Amino acid sequence: MIDKLIDWFDRHRELPTLRRVVVAVSGGVDSMVAMDLIGQLSGALGFSVVVCHVDHRMRPESEDEQRFVEAEAVRRGLTFHGVAVDVPGRIRETGESPQAAARALRYEALTQCARAAGAEAVVLAHHQDDQAETVLLRLLRGASPTGLGGMNEVRRSGDLWWLRPFLKVTKAELVAYAADHGIPYREDPSNWSTKYLRNKIRLQLIPLLETDYQPRVKDHLARLAQMIQEDEAVLTSMALEARDRCVRVGSGNYRIDIPRFSDLPAALQRRVLTLILDYPSERLPGWGAIQVEALRNLALHGRSGSELRLSGGWRARRVYDELVFDRFGEEGRPIGVGPLGASPIPLSVPGRTSCPILGVTIDATVVSRQEWELRARAEAANDPGVGPSTPAVADFDWERMEGRPLFIRSRLPGDRFAPFGLAGTKKIKDVWIDDKVPRELRDRWPLLAAGREILWIIGWRRSAHWPVTKDTQRILHVEATWTNEEIREWVHRRTRKN
Tell me the per-residue pLDDT of 173-202, one tens digit each, with 9 for 90 and over. Answer: 999 999 999 999 998 888 888 888 999 999
Q: Which of 130-139, 380-389, 475-484, 489-498 has the lowest mean pLDDT?
A: 380-389
Shared domain check, 87 and 182: yes
Reported as a single tens digit per residue, the pLDDT across 116-148 is 999 999 999 999 999 999 999 999 988 888 889
Shared domain check, 369 and 304: no
Local structure of 332: helix, strand or coil: coil
Shared domain check, 317 and 382: no
Q: Is the pLDDT of residue 311 over 80?
A: no
Shared domain check, 298 and 234: yes
Shared domain check, 209 and 248: no
Q: What is the span of the domain harbouring residue 243?
A: 229-327
Reported as a single tens digit per residue, the pLDDT across 44-53 is 999 999 999 9
Question: Cβ of 217: how many Cβ atoms within 10 Å?
Answer: 18
CA-to-CA distance for 72 and 32, rounded, in angstroms?
Answer: 9
Tell me, yes or no, whether 476 lies in a domain: yes
Which positions make up the binding site? Answer: 26-31
Q: Is the pLDDT of residue 102 over 50?
A: yes
Q: Is the pLDDT of residue 276 over 90?
A: no
Shared domain check, 190 and 248: no
Which positions make up the binding site for ATP? Answer: 26-31
**What is the band of 287 on the pLDDT scale with cuts at 50, 70, 90?**
low
3-state DSSP: the chain helix, strand, coil percent, rounded to 5? 45, 20, 35
CA-to-CA distance for 476 and 365, rounded, in angstroms?
Answer: 6
CB 148 within 8 A of CB 138: yes
Q: Which residue has the higher pLDDT, 343 or 208?
A: 208
pLDDT reported for residue 312:
67
pLDDT reported for residue 284:
56
257-263 average pLDDT score? 95
Q: Is the pLDDT of residue 391 over 60?
A: no
Shared domain check, 317 and 195: no
Shared domain check, 464 and 315: no
**What is the band of 98 on the pLDDT scale with cuts at 50, 70, 90?**
confident
pLDDT reported for residue 206:
96
**What is the band of 495 on the pLDDT scale with cuts at 50, 70, 90?**
low
Shared domain check, 251 and 310: yes
Q: pLDDT exceeding 70 applies to what percent of the chain?
A: 90
Domains in the chain, number: 3
Tell me, yes or no, whether 281 lies in a domain: yes
What is the CATH number for 114?
Answer: 3.40.50.620
Tell me, yes or no, whether 57 lies in a domain: yes
**What is the band of 8 on the pLDDT scale with cuts at 50, 70, 90?**
very high
pLDDT reported for residue 124:
97
CA-to-CA distance for 221 and 131, rounded, in angstroms?
Answer: 8
**What is the band of 275 on the pLDDT scale with cuts at 50, 70, 90?**
confident
Q: Is the pLDDT of residue 336 over 50?
A: no
Peptide bond into 350 cis (omega under 30): yes
Shared domain check, 106 and 29: yes
Q: Where are the alpha helices (DSSP H) in 247-329?
A: 258-262, 266-277, 289-301
**What is the band of 72 on the pLDDT scale with cuts at 50, 70, 90?**
very high
pLDDT reported for residue 333:
45
Local structure of 396: helix, strand or coil: strand
pLDDT reported for residue 299:
93
pLDDT reported for residue 340:
47
Final residue of a structural domain among 300, 327, 354: 327
Q: Is the pLDDT of residue 282 over 70?
A: no
Final residue of a structural domain among 180, 213, 246: 213
pLDDT reported for residue 339:
41
pLDDT reported for residue 153:
95
Residues 22, 26, 27, 32: is their CA dihedral positive or negative?
A: negative
Tell me, yes or no, whether 478 lies in a domain: yes
Establish how many alpha carbons lie within 13 A of residue 25's alpha carbon, considering only the half-sphere containing its beta carbon: 34
Tell me, yes or no, whether 219 lies in a domain: no
| Average pLDDT over the chain, rounded to an integer | 86
What is the CATH number for 491?
Answer: 3.50.40.10
Local structure of 255: helix, strand or coil: strand
Q: Which residue has the higher pLDDT, 48 or 493?
A: 48
Tell me, yes or no, whether 333 lies in a domain: no
For residue 283, the 8-state DSSP code is P
pTM, two decimal places: 0.63
CA-to-CA distance for 277 and 282, rounded, in angstroms?
Answer: 8
Shared domain check, 209 and 235: no
pLDDT reported for residue 309:
83
Q: Which of 118, 133, 93 is nearest to 19 (CA)?
A: 118
**What is the band of 101 on the pLDDT scale with cuts at 50, 70, 90?**
confident
pLDDT reported for residue 410:
85
Question: Cβ of 87: how many Cβ atoms within 10 Å?
Answer: 23
386-403 average pLDDT score? 69
Q: Is the pLDDT of residue 227 over 70?
A: yes
pLDDT reported for residue 379:
62
CA-to-CA distance for 102 and 86, rounded, in angstroms?
Answer: 8
334-350 average pLDDT score? 62
CB 325 within 8 A of CB 254: yes
- Rounded to 5 degrees, what angle do the CA atoms 75, 76, 80 make? 80
Shared domain check, 351 and 288: no
Tell me, yes or no, whether 337 lies in a domain: no
Q: Which of 277, 276, 272, 250 is nearest to 260 (CA)?
A: 272
Q: Is the pLDDT of residue 342 over 80?
A: no
Tell me, yes or no, whether 336 lies in a domain: no
Question: How far apart are the two ends of the chain, measured CA to CA in Å?
Answer: 66
